[in-house]
Chain A
Amino acid sequence: MNTKEDTKMFEYDEFGLFTSQKHIDNFLYYMTTIYQEDFFNYKFFALPENELSFIYIISEIFDYPLISDNQDFHEIFKNIDKESNYIEDNQQEVIDLAYGFLNFSIQISDTRKLPLTYGILIKNAMDILSSNNDIIQFKQYEVVNIAKKYHEQEYHLQSDYFISL
């Protein structure tokens, strides 16, 4: 039986869209709670790109999902406010950009001081937001597709484990 660490987390992530284990885990959690119906019925283009880019950033910044079952975006906003005392300046800057993406606006500012991973995060979130204007690759679809495949992989591992018992 393979443990979680043994599995290749980036097996389907050939473009490196997810930066860490917690990133993909949190993102998957938001997908399965907020967008349950579209996510499980493979309607990836139906998902709103502004909300996806917001969630994409939030799931990397915080170590754990900010909502529990049956909760929505209002709870995420509330919990971000609650956490605001513990957030670093760098993180706050990225969160402000994420709020902008949620309102379909991209504010250009100097991001050279930010760590490299945050730079990649912002770039990908911008690509997700402008996915409809992209002729090469649909990042909106791509990100959710990776999460879905990861979910299937996890599900198979779990069922294998129960069979082995």
Chain B
Amino acid sequence: MKELTSYERLCDLAKKEELTTKEIGEAASVGINKAKELKKEIIQWMTESEKYRVYNTIRIQTKAVFEFLSKDIDEYKGGY
């Protein structure tokens, strides 16, 4: 079972501009297989909602990932 990601690690991720599949998995506290599905869902949501533009499918904007996971990015950006 995957452990919950620590607050410190989430703060580190929030400061990044874009996230890879592995980092998306960390942000959501899921493994790599779930992260793959999650990334697909996020990309689909980004295009359908037209809030964000998808430049490529390698890395996804951190802001979009946090918004999709209903996490407040500003809370984590403040640091620890």
A residues sitting closer than 8 Å to B (CB atoms) are 14-15, 42-45, 134-138, 141-142, 145
Interface size, chain B (Cβ < 8 Å) = 16
Chain B interface secondary structure, helix, strand, loop or mixed? helix
Instruction: Return the chain B residue nearest A42 by Cβ.
Output: B47
What are 7 A-B residue pairs whose CB atoms fall within 8 Å in the complex?
A: A14-B56, A45-B44, A136-B58, A138-B43, A141-B54, A142-B56, A145-B57
Contacts of A45 in B (CB 8 A): 40, 43-44
**Measured between C-beta atoms, what is the minimum distance from A129 to chain B in Å?**
16
- The answer to whether A135 touches B21, judged by C-beta atoms less than 8 angstroms apart, is yes
Question: Which DSSP category, helix, strand, loop or mixed, fits chain A's interface?
Answer: loop
Residues of chain B having any CB pair with chain A under 8 Å:
20-22, 32, 35-36, 39-40, 43-44, 47-48, 54, 56-58
Q: Which residue from chain A places its CB closest to the CB of B37 in the assembled complex?
A: A132
Interface pairs A-B: 3 shortest CB-CB: A42-B47, A138-B57, A135-B21
CB within 8 Å for A42 and B48 given contacts A135-B21, A138-B43: yes
B21 proximity list for chain A (CB < 8 A):
135-136
Residue contact B36 to A135, C-beta cutoff 8 Å: yes
Chain B min CB distance to A118 (Å): 25
Chain B residues with CB under 8 Å of A14's CB are: 56
Complex Cα spacing A142 to B58, Å: 10
